[in-house]
């Protein structure tokens, strides 16, 4: 039993809208048995993509919710009046609040004095929906069990604003006497941390998983299954589908490193060591890459259900999506022996599961991996994990996306091919000059490095201060007439890399902006040494602290004022959301808010 397994805590997180950026570049690709590094050439300039604007109207923040059963018999589909009151600073900002019933039906709550709403304009939004009161009763039983186990430790749930813990709310089990017709029954988000084992259900790095001989492949020992479902070969083969060959898809992607790229006016310098250190040593078959001898080894599998928060059917609130499923691979350097190197490749899939009931089922499957009877890395565990991952990665899983593949983006963290540390982002497109192949793009929420510590950055943060604090801002391709959104954020020295500028009025706005950038998050804002997981599978303190005990904070002193200590509870938030999604009424998803970050 872990040190925290006896502790019970409850969780909720409120956050802003996340933004992803798409742009398109042109570059050549080559092949052949012996690949030689061509002279770097600048890629054809592209029209910079504009980062999508967040919703002009932020999501409503719910302070409280209750339901009043209209049926005489309470059960799993009880017709009820649902009532919510918004947070104090939200009053007057909204005319309706979306929720989802426990049959998966979208319902709009209004404050108009009709359809069950008692008084127009009183700040209470109401509407009728079918509610699973059996599940709500079971939630009270779970709370009671937790209270009995820790009678001297008060139960709370954590309220987050993006990644900032802003409140601990006490939780007490409801009396059974409230479960009666026409009596208000409070509804609150609940997430029991002790029922989630982070190493089983959130960040999976156990050797018996990442070295599973039937599902993974080790390029150095040539052991395992080269066609296994968790191999680089399998993921690229499914991504290629019938549109291109997996070897061509892989080679074309890797050769992007071998020539300069131009993205939003920024030149991304070539890292030509990709040819002698990865492509040339890669075994070939008839002049093409032998995908069964991949140069990448599995490091971890991540469940990022939390990135699906607030993906509602009406554009905001109301429900949550399945988030992302991520695979992390490390490059294997065969140019001098065979060594795993710090070039991390992260496949980030958008889980193609929507609708509260389907997402709930998805979360329950992840929760099952934390079942006390399920041993991490056992044949039963690995089979259950495979059943989850295959729902996402196989060809055709996302028919409306390029190549029918669920991939959102591939991100890389590189310190192998050149210095300094560098991050890149790649997207799959089905149109443009290289359809069905990966294109290097600008990166989400991160300006070009040359914009750091400038009056331009100062002006951007000050101008957008309110939106940054509200987690509703975007980073545009162009700001004040110059290119702004960046292409290859770098981390020259992790201890000193963060976003700042003299004259920024609000340091909290500066911090939030910096934390949401790629290199700010991977360096000083989280006291991280470039990677949150390295080539050996070790986690940064930002993640590892919560893996040991989700109730422990990971504290970071602000790099500008030197006195403010920011406490992060990253794993606590992810675990709370997983348990809540798996075990609670669909109504509670209306409390969710999108994370305004992409990491």
Would the pLDDT of 312 be above 60? no
Is 11 within a domain?
A: no
Is 168 within a domain?
A: no
Structure token pair of residue 240: 């290629």
Would the pLDDT of 375 be above 70? yes
Per-residue pLDDT band for 490 (boundaries 50, 70, 90) equals very high
| Same domain membership, residue 211 and residue 98 | no
- Chosen domain end from 189, 211, 239: 189
Q: What is the mean pLDDT of residues 296-301?
A: 98
Would the pLDDT of 19 be above 90? no
Q: What is the mean pLDDT of residues 585-591?
A: 94
pLDDT digits (tens, 9 = 90+) for 94-149: 999 999 999 999 999 999 999 999 999 999 999 999 999 999 999 999 999 988 88
Would the pLDDT of 4 be above 50? no
Please state, rounded to an integer, the average pLDDT across all residues of the chain: 89
Would the pLDDT of 34 be above 80? no
The pLDDT of residue 57: 54
Would the pLDDT of 475 be above 50? yes
Per-residue pLDDT band for 71 (boundaries 50, 70, 90) equals very high
Q: Which residues contact 84 (CB under 8 A, 6 or more apart)?
A: 62, 63, 64, 65, 97, 99, 109, 124, 125, 126, 590
Please give the share of the chain, as a percent, with pLDDT higher than 70.
89
Are 546 and 2 in contact by the 8 Å Cβ rule? The answer is: no
The pLDDT of residue 241: 98
Smallest CA-to-CA distance from 307 within 19, 11, 10 is with 19
| Same domain membership, residue 247 and residue 388 | yes
Q: What is the mean pLDDT of residues 18-39?
A: 31
The pLDDT of residue 317: 45
Is 598 within a domain?
A: no
Is 7 within a domain?
A: no
The pLDDT of residue 47: 35
| Same domain membership, residue 507 and residue 462 | yes
pLDDT digits (tens, 9 = 90+) for 422-445: 999 999 999 999 999 999 999 999
The pLDDT of residue 344: 98
- Pairing mode, strands 407-414 and 339-350: antiparallel
The pLDDT of residue 485: 98
Structure token pair of residue 227: 């066609």
3-state secondary structure of 205: coil
In the chain, how many domains are there? 2
Cα angle vertex 375, ends 371, 380, to 5°?
Answer: 90
The Cα–Cα gap between 43 and 21 comes to: 19
**pTM of the predicted protein model:** 0.90
Would the pLDDT of 152 be above 90? no
| Same domain membership, residue 86 and residue 43 | no
Is 37 within a domain?
A: yes
Residues counted in the chain: 599
Would the pLDDT of 49 be above 50? no
- Please tell me what DSSP assigns to residue 338: -
pLDDT digits (tens, 9 = 90+) for 514-551: 999 999 999 999 999 999 999 999 999 999 999 999 99
Smallest CA-to-CA distance from 434 within 598, 288, 261, 270 is with 261
Are 444 and 425 in contact by the 8 Å Cβ rule? The answer is: yes
- How far out from the chain centre does Cα 479 lie? 27
Would the pLDDT of 314 be above 90? no
The Cα–Cα gap between 526 and 536 comes to: 20
| Same domain membership, residue 51 and residue 105 | no
Is 554 within a domain?
A: yes
Instruction: Give just the sign of the alpha carbon dihedral 352, 355, 358, 362.
Output: positive
| Same domain membership, residue 246 and residue 348 | yes
Would the pLDDT of 35 be above 90? no
Higher pLDDT, 394 or 61: 394
Q: The tokens 């991390």 sit on which residue?
A: 344
| Same domain membership, residue 250 and residue 203 | yes
- Chosen domain end from 170, 189, 208: 189
Higher pLDDT, 583 or 335: 583
| Same domain membership, residue 254 and residue 146 | no
The CB-side HSE value for 184 (13 A sphere, CA atoms) comes to 8
Structure token pair of residue 501: 């500028």
The pLDDT of residue 318: 58
The Cα–Cα gap between 344 and 516 comes to: 20
The pLDDT of residue 313: 43
Q: What is the mean pLDDT of residues 304-327?
A: 77
The Cα–Cα gap between 368 and 306 comes to: 17
Is 266 within a domain?
A: yes
Q: What is the mean pLDDT of residues 223-239?
A: 98
- How far out from the chain centre does Cα 172 lie? 31
- Pairing mode, strands 156-161 and 10-11: parallel
Burial (0-12, 13-18, 19+ Cβ within 10 Å), 481: exposed
Per-residue pLDDT band for 295 (boundaries 50, 70, 90) equals very high
| Same domain membership, residue 351 and residue 239 | yes
The pLDDT of residue 89: 82
| Same domain membership, residue 416 and residue 368 | yes
Buried b / exposed e over 414-432, threshold 16 CB at 10 Å, is bbbbeeebbbbbbbbbeee
Is 166 within a domain?
A: no
The Cα–Cα gap between 377 and 199 comes to: 10
What is the 3-state secondary structure of 57-95?
Answer: CCCCCEEEEEEEECCCCCCCCEEEEEEEEECHHHCCCCC
pLDDT digits (tens, 9 = 90+) for 159-194: 888 899 988 988 899 999 999 999 999 999 999 998
Per-residue pLDDT band for 215 (boundaries 50, 70, 90) equals very high
| Same domain membership, residue 440 and residue 347 | yes
| Same domain membership, residue 235 and residue 94 | no
Are 534 and 414 in contact by the 8 Å Cβ rule? The answer is: no
Q: How many CB atoms neighbour CB 380 within 10 A? A: 13
The Cα–Cα gap between 418 and 416 comes to: 6
What Rg do the C-alpha atoms of the chain give, in angstroms? Answer: 25
The pLDDT of residue 36: 36
- Domain with 95, as residue range(s), is 62-152+178-189
Helix then strand then coil, in percent of the chain rounded to 5, is 30, 25, 50
The pLDDT of residue 382: 98
Per-residue pLDDT band for 492 (boundaries 50, 70, 90) equals very high
Are 465 and 475 in contact by the 8 Å Cβ rule? The answer is: no
- Please tell me what DSSP assigns to residue 406: -
The pLDDT of residue 458: 98
The Cα–Cα gap between 310 and 535 comes to: 32
- Chosen domain end from 142, 166, 189: 189
The H or E element containing residue 250 is helix 246-254
Smallest CA-to-CA distance from 104 within 397, 392, 361 is with 361
The pLDDT of residue 146: 86
């Amino acid at each position: 039993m872990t040190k925290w397994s006896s502790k019970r805590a409850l969780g909720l997180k409120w956050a802003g809208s996340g933004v992803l950026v798409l742009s398109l570049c042109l570059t050549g690709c080559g092949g052949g048995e012996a690949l030689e590094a061509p002279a770097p050439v600048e890629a054809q300039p592209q029209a910079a993509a504009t980062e999508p604007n967040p919703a002009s109207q932020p999501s409503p923040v719910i302070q409280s919710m209750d339901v009043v059963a209209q049926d005489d018999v309470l059960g799993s589909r009880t017709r009820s009046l649902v009532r919510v009151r918004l947070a104090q600073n939200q009053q007057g900002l909204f005319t309706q609040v979306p929720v989802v019933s426990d049959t998966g039906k979208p319902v709009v709550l209004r404050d108009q004095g009709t359809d069950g709403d008692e008084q127009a304009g009183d700040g209470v939004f109401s509407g009728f929906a079918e509610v699973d009161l059996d599940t709500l009763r079971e939630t009270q039983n779970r709370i009671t069990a937790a209270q009995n186990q820790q009678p001297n430790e008060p139960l709370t749930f954590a309220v987050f604003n993006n990644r900032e813990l802003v409140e601990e709310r006490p939780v007490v089990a409801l009396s059974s006497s409230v479960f009666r017709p026409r009596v208000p029954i409070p509804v609150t988000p609940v997430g029991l941390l002790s029922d989630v084992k982070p190493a089983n259900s959130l960040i999976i790095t156990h050797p018996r998983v990442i070295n599973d001989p039937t599902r993974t492949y080790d390029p150095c020992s040539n052991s395992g299954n080269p066609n296994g479902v968790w191999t680089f070969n399998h993921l690229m083969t499914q991504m290629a589908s019938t549109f291109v060959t997996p070897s061509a898809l892989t080679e074309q992607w890797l050769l992007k490193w071998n020539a300069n790229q131009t993205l939003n006016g920024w030149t991304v310098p070539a890292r030509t060591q990709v040819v002698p250190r990865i492509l040339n040593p890669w075994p070939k078959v008839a002049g093409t890459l032998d995908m069964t001898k991949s140069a990448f080894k599995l490091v971890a599998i991540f469940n990022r259900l939390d990135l699906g928060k607030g993906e509602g059917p009406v554009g905001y609130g109301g429900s949550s999506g399945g988030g992302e499923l991520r695979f992390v691979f490390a490059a294997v350097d065969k140019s001098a022996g065979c060594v795993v190197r710090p070039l991390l490749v992260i496949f980030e899939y958008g889980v193609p599961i929507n609708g509260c009931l389907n997402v709930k089922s998805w979360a329950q499957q992840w929760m099952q991996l934390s079942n006390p009877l399920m041993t991490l890395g056992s044949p039963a565990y690995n089979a259950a994990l495979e059943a989850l991952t295959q729902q996402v990665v196989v060809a055709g899983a996302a028919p409306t996306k390029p190549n029918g593949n669920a991939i959102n983006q591939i991100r890389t963290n590189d310190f192998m091919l050149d210095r300094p540390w560098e991050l890149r982002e790649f997207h799959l497109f089905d149109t443009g000059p290289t359809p069905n192949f990966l294109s290097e793009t600008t990166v989400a929420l991160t300006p070009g490095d040359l914009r750091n510590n400038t009056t331009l950055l100062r002006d951007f943060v000050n101008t957008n201060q309110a939106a940054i604090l509200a987690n509703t801002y975007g980073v545009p391709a162009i700001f004040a007439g110059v290119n702004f959104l960046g292409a290859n954020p770098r981390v020259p020295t992790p201890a000193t890399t963060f976003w700042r500028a003299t004259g920024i009025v609000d340091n909290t706005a500066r911090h939030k902006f910096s934390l949401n950038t790629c290199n700010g998050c991977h360096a000083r804002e989280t006291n991280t040494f470039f990677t949150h997981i390295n080539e050996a599978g070790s986690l940064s303190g930002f993640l590892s602290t919560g893996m040991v005990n989700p109730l422990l904070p990971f504290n970071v002193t602000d790099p500008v004022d030197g006195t403010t200590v920011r406490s992060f509870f990253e794993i606590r938030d992810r675990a709370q959301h997983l348990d809540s999604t798996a075990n609670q009424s669909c109504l509670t998803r209306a409390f969710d808010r999108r994370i305004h970050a992409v990491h």
